[in-house]
Chains A and B, each alone.
Chain A
Amino acid sequence: MASWPDSTRVIGAAVPRLDGLAKASGRAKYPSDERPDGVLFAAILHSPHAHAKITKIDTSKAEAIPGVKAVHLIAEEGATVRYHGEEIAAVAAESEEIARDGCRAIAIEFEVLPHAVTEEQALSDNAPRLTPRGNTQEGRAQQDGDPDAALAEAAATVEGHYSLPVITHVCLETHGQVVRWDGPDRMTVWASTQNVDGVESEMAGAFEIPATNVTVLTPVMGGGFGSKFGADTWGVAAGQLAKKTGRPVWLFLDRIQEHLTAGNRPSASAKIKIGADKSGKITAMIAETQGTGGISRGAAFPLPYVYEVPNSRRQHTDVRINGGNARAMRAPGHPQGCAMMEFAVDDLAEALGMDPLQVRLNSLAEQDTVPSGDGQPINRSEIYRAQIELGRKAIGWDQRKSRAENAKAQGPLKRGFGMALHQWGGGGRDDKQVTCIINPDGSVELRSATQDIGTGCRTILAQIAAEVLGLEPTAISSNIGNSQFPPGQASGGSTTTPSMAPPAYNAALKAREQLFRRIAGALDAEPGDLEARGGVILVKGEREVPWKEACRKLGTMPVSVTEGFLEGLTAQGVGGCQFVDLTVDVETGVVRLNKIVAVQDTGLILNMLTWKSQVYGGVIMGLNYGLFEELVMDPTTGLALNPDMELYKLAGASDIPEIEIIPFDNEQMRKRGVIGVGEPPTIATAAAIGNAVANALGTRVPAFPMSPWNVLNALAKA
């Protein structure tokens, strides 16, 4: 079984992103920046109705507009559109403006149908039937032990009803691609995707051309968060328009469409009864949960979450609405499950008259085994205990006052502390590959189809090769985001780095081995006499041959090896906790964050800078969920009211507090190997914010976000 080197020079260091300057300076070319020769711009016409039958489509006026080159229908006459924003047609034109004019000139007759855009509407007696199977789908019932008896015996019980709204991914670069046909059965696609290989096979399938003839390029991309795995209807539409016109076609969604049709995180609500014994250990939980993932997707989330609940029962219902479909969103399901569980745990602690931190410690499973790369399994409960201690100190938990004390405090400003725990997987897949090329001029290149969704994967792969070859990361060309390269991991489940780091390490090791074998003779040595370090080849521990000079001994043939997974370099199953210190102004309902502490373990940390950047990003995304975000649907018209970045609210710099990140990084963690960190740090933030608000006010604000109206409404009822 393989292992990472015991002592490292580049791996684990804080290495700036190789493409950081290009991105920060605007030089980096994103897929939406591509303008191949002769490019046409396309726009999508979307449904202005929440629910309607298309009785007639007339594209003649659109086609007559000077500059409009082609119209492609995504929905045909007779089709039913089922949410505001659903795609109907795409128009390609000489400019984006003309393409939009073209969309508006398509005359469509609709037979408007009754809609239900909120869960309340969809569940009402006179709701229209939205799917052949009705407006709800029951999840499989969960049952463990005897929760009714356990609740009856509990020392304290509490009942709560909590809810989280639908939010969207808000990728800064909207979904889309540029498609160019390079022959009758060959195309290049510049795609803003987190799944280069997946887009290749989808486009090949849609156009019935060999996958090998499709080149998908994603050198950099502007955010996906789980919503950019597929070619999507607009990708196929761009391909059709490019085919019709014989010109490359640029098609990216506008901001409204990005909010409405490119995915969302489902809503969640829960009625929870929870009980504990005298010692403050959770004994039972009964939950009825609900959520909507739009017109045809589910809204599942894990519950119970993290803690050991020996007796539990849960019934979940998915509600269908005339809304865009959910897509995976950064730790799918977990932020919802975490908030529901952690709210209940906090309220239970209040009923017990105990510190909620103690109830959490009491309620961790005795043994929560997670694997390690070195074959020595780990008890995650022990990790949680250590993390909670670190977070407790960092946030100043001992300053926390009880809800009752805070409720009595004078003045409009109430300070509160809250915390929450989370878990995630984040392991690697074993079927991906990396090519390592050492050229006779000394340049080194890595190749893989995988993409850098923003995590720093490009830099991390270069670091690994640099470590093995004794070079600086900047000396390595990390060429990823190209489907012609060896198969790369899709960026989902925090699996990219753990899937790609082992083959990169493997390929670099084998390339070094081959290099030594091929140049040893020319250096009057055996391959075993050579070492690569500090930019030189060290011969027999004495003579230093500069790297480039040594590589010249290769003659004209580069070293090129493609390698796959190695056992022992990755693991999965992480834990973390977050603590929040905030102030609520009870005269305005405005919540201001003072500080957030994020403690996170993810095994071996390959790059401390990009690792921390992931945690910062996760926390900021989580605080948006906790404080600001909500997609607002209008019950009367069925339209979304805030598909923008103005009244769909997101934190600005002044809304973001000090964020202290504590890497849970020690010898044992490093031995576990690589585990992804993209998702876990966004899970607990909103839950911890909600708990801190409850602590500050002395009363629970049951509905997210923690906005002035939700805060003041809860205070008015308290």
Chain B
Amino acid sequence: MNAFEYASPTSVEQAVRALAGAESSEGLSGGTDLLCRLKDSVSSPSRVVYLKAIADEGFRGVFAEGDGLAIGAGTSLAALLADEAIAAKYPALKQAARSVATPQIRNMATVGGNLLQRPRCWYYRSGFGLLGGRRDGDTARLVRELEGEYAPYNINLVGLPADGHLVRLGDNRYHAIFMTDGDALYVNPSSLAPALIALGATAEIVGPDGSRTVPIADLYRIPSSEGERELTVATDEVLTRVLLPPPKGKNAFYEIRQKQAHDWPLVLASVCLEMDGDTVRQASILLGAVAPVPYRAEAAEAALAGKKLDRSTAEAAGQAATTGAKPLSKNGYKVPLVKTAVKRALLRAAGDEYWTAMEA
């Protein structure tokens, strides 16, 4: 870890100024991601700006906003989980929050941090960047870049083909199965983002030039070259609030992970269903942990539109959700998980948790 300046502003305005006034800066909220990156020298900002002392109204907590809700970015996941309005109207969001890490981590981690954490890809976390070690399309000299003043290791790989990609050649069991034609093969790590996108939420972002509001999906992009961030929020901007429109119909979330305790999702799905009686008028189906961005399962949405929601249509929608999957060498197992996650999220929304009990 390199030494850094530390700022602890008490307002968003001060925070933006502090973030903007440094050579490189990072916002620190719960620290459950940033501290790991700092210690592993994956990130070495010259200034760390602590966001938890911000006292602006609305920055922390869940508030009524019209017929919807406004969630402060500084709200802890534990508080999100405990909120009665969310439990009543947005069960998908509550289920997503509950799936994250452990109670201790949820006490520290925040909504903003969950949305803006960096990918967990083990090549990225080992210092090879987000694009499998490729620098401008060339891996002839692969650089392991641990940032900062002391960067002692350059790894010159022996025998790596010039078009080689660490993720494609290596262990990609946790990597993307959609949008895998490019070089960004990590998966978006946020559990809340797919739920929020399905629910039609937007994010309020404050920067030096004032405030802007974008759909949650637009927080993410796919970098085309190393050094480009996968987040659209600039380093001198602060995510301040998440705005949830009034709930439309049913919503639910389902996550598949190896361990019950403290684990990352292998695949997750979040759905929001506008209903006409028993029939689905419009479905919003988002997948997590399968692509470099939260991934909208359009084929599944189309398969469900105008259908009655039952086990057979849910199964068909799950199958449709796998359309376009192009798994890598070791993660083909995720394709059936997509089907299962979508089917179960849909049936959870319908109150049919068929997978919780053995059939007689």
What residues of chain A have their CB less than 8 Å away from a CB belonging to chain B?
48-49, 61, 97, 100-101, 104-108, 112-115, 409-413, 415, 583, 585, 587-590, 592, 627-628, 632, 634-637, 639, 641-642, 646-647, 649, 651-655, 707-709, 712-713, 716
Which residue of A has the minimal Cβ distance to B266?
Answer: A708
**Number of contacting residues on B, CB 8 A?**
54
B262 close to A (CB within 8 Å) = yes
- Which residues of chain B come closer than 8 Å to A641, judged between CB atoms? 122-123, 126, 170-171
CA distance A636 to B167 in the complex (A): 9
Q: Are A652 and B259 in contact (CB under 8 A)?
A: yes
User: Contact mask B122-149 → A, CB, 8 Å, 1/0?
Assistant: 1100101000000000000010100010
| Other A-B pairs, 11, CB within 8 Å; known A635-B169, A639-B126 | A101-B150, A108-B152, A112-B157, A115-B158, A628-B259, A636-B164, A652-B259, A654-B260, A708-B333, A712-B333, A713-B333
- B336 contacts A709, C-beta separation under 8 Å: no
25 A-B pairs with CB atoms under 8 Å apart are A48-B152, A101-B1, A104-B151, A105-B150, A112-B155, A112-B158, A115-B158, A583-B358, A585-B355, A587-B336, A588-B337, A589-B333, A627-B258, A632-B122, A632-B171, A634-B171, A636-B160, A637-B126, A639-B126, A649-B263, A652-B260, A653-B261, A654-B260, A708-B266, A712-B333
Q: Specify which of B144, B263, B358 is in contact with A411 (CB 8 Å cutoff).
A: B358
Q: Collect the chain A residues with CB atoms within 8 Å of residue B88's CB.
A: none
Contact of B170 among A411, A415, A583, A636 (CB under 8 A): A636
User: How far, in angstroms, from A361 to B331 measured CA to CA in the complex?
Assistant: 41
CB of B159 within 8 A of CB of A635, answer no
A269 to B206, CA, bound (A): 57
Decide: B337 and A49 in contact? CB cutoff 8 A. no
Q: Are B152 and A107 in contact (CB under 8 A)?
A: yes
CA of A30 to CA of B152, assembled, Å: 33
Q: Does B359 contact A (CB under 8 A)?
A: yes
8 closest A-B pairs (Cβ-Cβ)?
A: A652-B261, A411-B359, A104-B150, A48-B153, A654-B260, A587-B340, A641-B122, A712-B333
> Quick check: B260 and A592 within 8 Å, CB to CB?
yes
B354 on interface, CB distance cutoff 8 Å: yes
Say yes or no: A415 contacts B358, CB within 8 Å. Answer: yes
List residues of chain B with CB within 8 A of the CB of A413: 355, 357-359
Interface status of B173 (Cβ within 8 A of chain A): yes
B residues with a Cβ closer than 8 A to A are 1-2, 41, 102, 120, 122-123, 126, 128, 142, 144, 148, 150-153, 155-160, 164, 166, 169-171, 173-174, 256-264, 266, 330-333, 336-337, 339-340, 343-344, 354-355, 357-359
Minimal Cβ-Cβ distance residue in B for A713: B333
A-B contact count (CB 8 A): 129
Q: Which residue of A lies closest to B334 (CB)?
A: A709
Smallest CB separation, A603 vs chain B (Å): 36
Whether the pair A636, B157 counts as a contact (CB closer than 8 A) is yes
Contact between chains at B262 and A652 (CB < 8 Å) = yes
Q: Within 8 Å CB of A415, what residues of B? A: 358
From A415, which residue of chain B is reached at the shortest CB distance?
A: B358
Min distance, Cβ B251 to any Cβ of chain A, angstroms = 21
- The interface residues of chain B lying within 8 Å CB-to-CB of A647 are 120, 122, 174, 264
Contact between chains at A709 and B333 (CB < 8 Å): yes
Partner of A634, one of B156, B170, B258, B261: B170
Residues of B within 8 A of A410 (CB): 359
By a CB distance below 8 angstroms, the chain B residues around A106 are: 152
Most chain A CB within 10 A, of B150, B264, B355, B359, is at B150
Instruction: Judge whether B261 and A651 touch: CB under 8 Å.
Output: yes
- Chain A residue nearest to B126 (CB atoms) is A639
- With A112-B155, A587-B336, A587-B340 already in contact, the answer to whether A707 and B258 are too (CB < 8 A) is yes
How far is it, in angstroms, between the C-alpha of A230 and the C-alpha of B236 when the chains are bound? 51
Note all chain A residues with C-beta closer than 8 A to B2. Answer: 101
Contacts of A105 in B (CB 8 A): 150, 152
A623 → chain B closest CB, angstroms: 11
Contact B122 A642 (CB under 8 A): yes
Report which of A104, A639, A708 forms a contact with B256, defined as CB distance below 8 A.
A708
For A637, list chain B residues within 8 Å (CB): 126, 128, 142, 144, 155, 157, 166, 170
- What residues of chain A lie closer than 8 Å to B144, measured between beta carbons? 48, 637
Query: Which of A49, A585, A651, A713 is within 8 Å of B259, CB to CB?
Result: A651
Residues of the B chain whose Cβ atoms lie less than 8 Å from the Cβ of A654: 260-261
Find out whether the CB atom of A412 lies under 8 angstroms from the CB atom of B355: yes
Decide if A409 touches B359 in the complex (CB within 8 Å). yes
Q: Are A708 and B258 in contact (CB under 8 A)?
A: yes
**Min CB–CB distance A517 → chain B (angstroms):** 59
Measured between beta carbons, the chain A residues less than 8 angstroms from B102 are 652
Residues of B within 8 A of A49 (CB): 153, 155
Contacts of A636 in B (CB 8 A): 157, 160, 164, 166, 169-170
Question: Are A649 and B259 touching (Cβ within 8 A)?
Answer: yes
**What residues of chain A lie closer than 8 Å to B343, measured between beta carbons?**
587
Taking A112-B155, A413-B359, A636-B170 as contacts, is the C-beta distance between A104 and B41 under 8 angstroms? Answer: yes
Q: How far is the CA of A590 from the CA of B355 in the complex (A)?
A: 12
Residue of A nearest to B340 (CB): A587
Question: How far is A668 from B1 in the complex, measured between Cα atoms in Å?
Answer: 60
CA distance A709 to B330 in the complex (A): 9
| Complex Cα–Cα for A588 and B153 (A) | 40
Contact B256 A588 (CB under 8 A): yes
Residues on B with beta carbons closer than 8 Å to the beta carbon of A114: 158-159
Nearest A residue to B164 via CB reads: A636
Least distance between A560 CB and chain B CB atoms (Å): 49
Partner of B354, one of A107, A411, A634, A639: A411
Q: Once the chains bind, are B337 and A634 in contact (CB under 8 Å)?
A: no
Min CB–CB distance A597 → chain B (angstroms): 20
CB pair A113–B256 under 8 Å, yes or no, is no
Query: In whole angstroms, what is the CA distance A675 to B120 when docked?
Result: 46
Q: What is the minimal beta-carbon distance from B44 to any residue of chain A, in angstroms? A: 11
**Residues in B whose Cβ lies below 8 Å from that of A642:** 122
In the complex, A97 Cα to B1 Cα: how many Å?
A: 8
Q: For A639, list chain B residues within 8 Å (CB).
A: 126
Across the interface, name the chain A residue whose C-beta is closest to B331. Answer: A709
A105 to B173, CA, bound (A): 34
A712 to B340, CA, bound (A): 12
Query: In the assembly, what is the distance between CA of A399 and CA of B171, in Å?
Result: 40
